[in-house]
């Protein structure tokens, strides 16, 4: 019988999951649910605003089976071979992909899932899922692929007086639909809250507004500052492209690579030359970042200057500034942009009250800043709240710490402690980097390979998987490979005998989390983060599937730029292997 398959999400991961499932099982009855009006997820029409750019270089931000550089096949507006990728180009590409791969007819837009519950047969055996939509409609399926992204619910801090603020208050997620409201002549002052990528993009948007409002930008005062990476897309090899080479990524310790020559030389601590090169590499990265941003060029630049000794941890906080972006220069001019380092204490109907980092704790030192609009670039909350707490725990999804039993909390603390001790023996260079306490009220994603929970695998439950649930620097192909791994499990192409016991898989999850916490600081504590090491993550998934991990050969294996095209045939390879 043909399985009924539902994919939640029509972004990079959702489209890839649906396409992969149709190739692995052509008889599957596939439906894609998305709460937006168009494909794309974060690149949907409703999320795109003027000046929005993709960070990835051309040729790397695409699926393996359709090139963004192929004008005839993608029907983009004369895509250039080099240069920056506009937000509308990404949307057009994803729409063209959905059309060419016969996915558009399978998508139900404006279909938000508000509840997902298990269907069970006799003896309490899992038998699929029932989804309840915001319209009240219910849909049943045999297989469920969740591709809604790690975080999609906007987070706005709970600050005293927010409800009484009379001006425009908007989360950055709404900029695509509502950016025109910022161009009103009545908007003379805009306040941007946050210090990461979305904040710098929002500041850039505000600089281009025709009404030229005064821009106030508030960032928290911590050791990360606002690390800014300057990118020149006209260079033969940009820093973003270089990150897709094995030789460059080899300088970062990876939990997914503990046996290679690179690991032994750079990260085992046994080789004097390897230790020296490792240290010099990270010193060079820090010097390059600090040089390009020219923090010491102005007082405001110094206000957001990162602690150079913390830049190893700060990679997840880096904001990419492309050549031609005026944000850096305007920060130094201190004309259109006024930088504040501190916290918002409270709001009035027409102003914010900011306590600077150096102020005393008395209210008399608060600065009142009148403003007409507040733009909250303050991140997102987990996207999987439509599962019950019990199912969420079984599936390895974030749950409130308070919802765990004391025994479960202690068990995971013990697992992390043992895993961290083992990691430090493997990666002695990580010893100086502390594990911070989580700033979130919930657990991390406890999924094996970031795709399926150990409990799900141990129960041989092939009804569900998660695609694209890892923050990384190669979004497009990560969507493909995680989708293939998950679909292979659900369709029986990954045997239960390929994995260890539930306890062994849980320890693997704990080791991965402990490594992320050491490698990426506070953000690695609460979310699955892989940046420079993503190629080794792909290698592990490929080996799990019984496929060839190293795809280039020769010197290009280490110095060549890996792209999705290197994996173009992996679905065929998997199916051929199973037939053979």
- Could you tell me the pLDDT band of residue 75, with boundaries at 50, 70 and 90? very low
Tokens of 435: 């594990």
Cβ-contact 483, 20 below 8 angstroms: yes
Mean pLDDT of the chain: 90
Query: Residues 376, 156: contact at Cβ < 8 Å?
Result: yes
For residue 204, CA distances in Å to 51, 319, 462, 496 come to 8, 12, 45, 50
- pLDDT at 507 > cutoff 90: yes
Q: Which of 67-81, 375-389, 541-555 has the lowest mean pLDDT?
A: 67-81
Which own/partner pairs from 401-409 qualify as long-range (CB within 8 Å, at least 24 positions apart)? 401/441, 401/442, 401/443, 402/441, 404/443
Higher pLDDT, 525 or 122: 525
Burial 417-438 (b: 16+ CB within 10 A, else e): eebbeebeebbebbeebebeee
The model's pLDDT over 438-483, given as tens digits with 9 standing for 90+, comes to 888 889 999 999 999 999 999 999 999 999 999 888 899 999 999 9
- pLDDT of 227 over the 90 cut: no
- Sorted by where each begins, the domain ranges of the chain are 4-153+381-579, 156-378
Residue 137 has pLDDT above 90, yes or no: yes
Band of residue 229 on the pLDDT scale cut at 50, 70, 90: confident
The model's confidence at residue 81, banded by pLDDT at 50, 70 and 90, is low
The structure tokens listed for 422 are 């083992």
pLDDT of residue 1: 65
Q: Measured between alpha carbons, how far is 39 from 16 in angstroms, rounded to an integer? A: 12
DSSP code of residue 175: H
Superfamily of domain 4-153+381-579: FAD/NAD(P)-binding domain (3.50.50.60)
pLDDT score of 76 more than 50: no
Query: Please, are residues 301 and 177 in contact by the beta-carbon 8 Å criterion?
Result: no
Region 228-243 average pLDDT: 77
- Kindly indicate the confidence band of residue 80, based on its pLDDT and cuts at 50, 70 and 90: low
Q: Are strands 380-382 and 151-154 parallel, antiparallel or unpaired?
A: antiparallel
DSSP letter (8 states) at residue 387 = B
pLDDT for the residue 287: 87
pLDDT(358) > 90: no
**Residue 134 pLDDT grade (very low, low, confident, very high; cuts 50, 70, 90):** very high
In the DSSP assignment, the letter for residue 313 is G
Query: In the prediction, which pLDDT does 309 show?
Result: 80
Domains 4-153+381-579 and 156-378 share a fold: yes
Token digits of residue 81: 């071979």
In 3-state terms the chain splits into helix, strand, coil percentages (rounded to 5) of 40, 20, 40
Rounded to an integer, what distance in angstroms lies between the CA atom of residue 18 and that of residue 27? 12
pLDDT above 50 (res 363): no
pLDDT digits (tens, 9 = 90+) for 288-311: 888 888 899 999 999 999 887 877
Q: Which fold has domain 156-378?
A: FAD/NAD(P)-binding domain (3.50.50)
If you average pLDDT over each of 29-33, 76-80, 520-524, which comes out highest? 29-33
Helix axes 534-544, 475-490, angle to 10 degrees: 20
- Residue 124: pLDDT band with limits 50, 70, 90: low
Nearest in space to 9 (alpha carbons), one of 87, 138, 88, 112: 112
How far is 276 from 311, CA to CA, in rounded Å? 18
Q: State percent of the chain over pLDDT 70.
A: 95
Stretch 485-506: mean pLDDT, rounded?
Answer: 95
What are phi and psi for residue 124, nearest 5 degrees?
Answer: 60, 30
**Torsion angles phi and psi, residue 151, rounded to 5:** -140, 125
């Amino acid at each position: 019988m043909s399985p009924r398959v539902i994919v939640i999400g029509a972004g990079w991961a959702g489209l890839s999951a649906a396409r992969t499932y149709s190739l692995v099982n052509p008889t599957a009855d596939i439906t894609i649910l998305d709460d937006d009006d168009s494909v794309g997820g974060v690149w949907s029409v409703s999320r795109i605003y003027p000046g929005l750019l993709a960070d990835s270089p051309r040729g790397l931000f695409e699926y393996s089976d359709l090139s963004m550089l192929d004008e005839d096949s993608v029907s983009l507006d004369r895509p250039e071979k080099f240069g920056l990728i506009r937000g509308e180009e990404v949307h057009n590409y994803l729409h063209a992909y959905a059309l060419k791969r016969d996915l558009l007819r399978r998508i139900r837009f404006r279909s938000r899932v508000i509840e997902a519950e298990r269907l069970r047969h006799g003896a309490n055996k899992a038998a699929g899922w029932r989804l309840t939509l915001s319209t009240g409609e219910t849909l049943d399926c045999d297989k469920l692929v969740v591709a809604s992204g790690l975080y999609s619910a906007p987070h706005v801090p709970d600050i005293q007086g927010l409800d009484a603020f009379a001006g425009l208050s908007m989360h950055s997620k709404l900029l695509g639909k509502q950016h025109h409201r910022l161009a009103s002549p009545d908007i003379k002052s805009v306040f941007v809250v946050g210090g990461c990528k979305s904040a710098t993009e929002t500041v850039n948007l505000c600089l281009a507004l025709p009404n030229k409002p005064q821009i106030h930008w508030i960032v928290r005062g911590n050791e990360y500052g606002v690390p800014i990476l300057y990118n020149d897309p006209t260079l033969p090899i940009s820093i973003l492209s270089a990150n897709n080479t094995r030789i460059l990524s080899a300088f970062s310790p990876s939990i997914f690579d503990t046996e290679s020559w690179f690991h032994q030389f750079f990260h085992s601590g046994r080789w004097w030359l390897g230790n020296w090169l490792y240290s010099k590499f990270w010193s060079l990265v820090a010097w390059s970042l600090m040089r390009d941003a020219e923090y010491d060029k102005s007082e405001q630049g110094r206000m957001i200057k990162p602690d150079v000794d913390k830049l190893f941890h700060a990679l997840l906080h880096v904001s990419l500034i492309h050549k031609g972006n005026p944000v850096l220069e305007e920060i130094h001019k201190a004309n259109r942009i006024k930088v504040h380092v501190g916290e918002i204490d409270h709001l009035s109907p027409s102003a914010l009250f900011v306590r600077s980092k150096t102020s005393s704790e008395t209210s008399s030192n608060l600065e009142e800043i009148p403003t007409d609009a507040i733009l909250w670039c303050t991140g997102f909350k987990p996207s999987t709240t439509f599962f019950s707490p019990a199912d969420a725990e079984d599936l390895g999804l974030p749950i409130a710490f308070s919802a765990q039993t004391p025994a479960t909390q202690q068990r995971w603390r013990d697992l992390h402690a043992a895993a961290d001790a083992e990691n430090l023996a493997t990666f002695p260079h990580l010893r100086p980097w502390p594990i911070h306490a989580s700033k979130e009220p919930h657990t991390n994603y406890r999924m094996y390979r970031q795709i399926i929970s150990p409990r799900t695998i141990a129960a041989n439950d092939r009804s569900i998987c998660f695609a694209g649930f890892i923050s990384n620097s190669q979004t497009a192909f990560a969507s493909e490979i995680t989708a293939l791994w998950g679909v292979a499990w659900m369709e029986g192409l990954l045997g239960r005998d390929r994995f260890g016991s539930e306890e062994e898989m849980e320890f693997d999850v704990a080791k991965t989390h402990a490594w992320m916490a050491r490698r990426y600081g506070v953000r690695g504590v609460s979310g699955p983060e892989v940046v420079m090491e993503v190629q080794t993550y792909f290698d592990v998934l490929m080996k799990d599937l019984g496929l060839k991990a190293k795809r280039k050969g020769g010197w290009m294996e280490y110095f060549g730029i890996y792209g999705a095209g290197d994996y173009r045939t992996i679905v065929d390879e998997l199916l051929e292997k199973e037939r053979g």
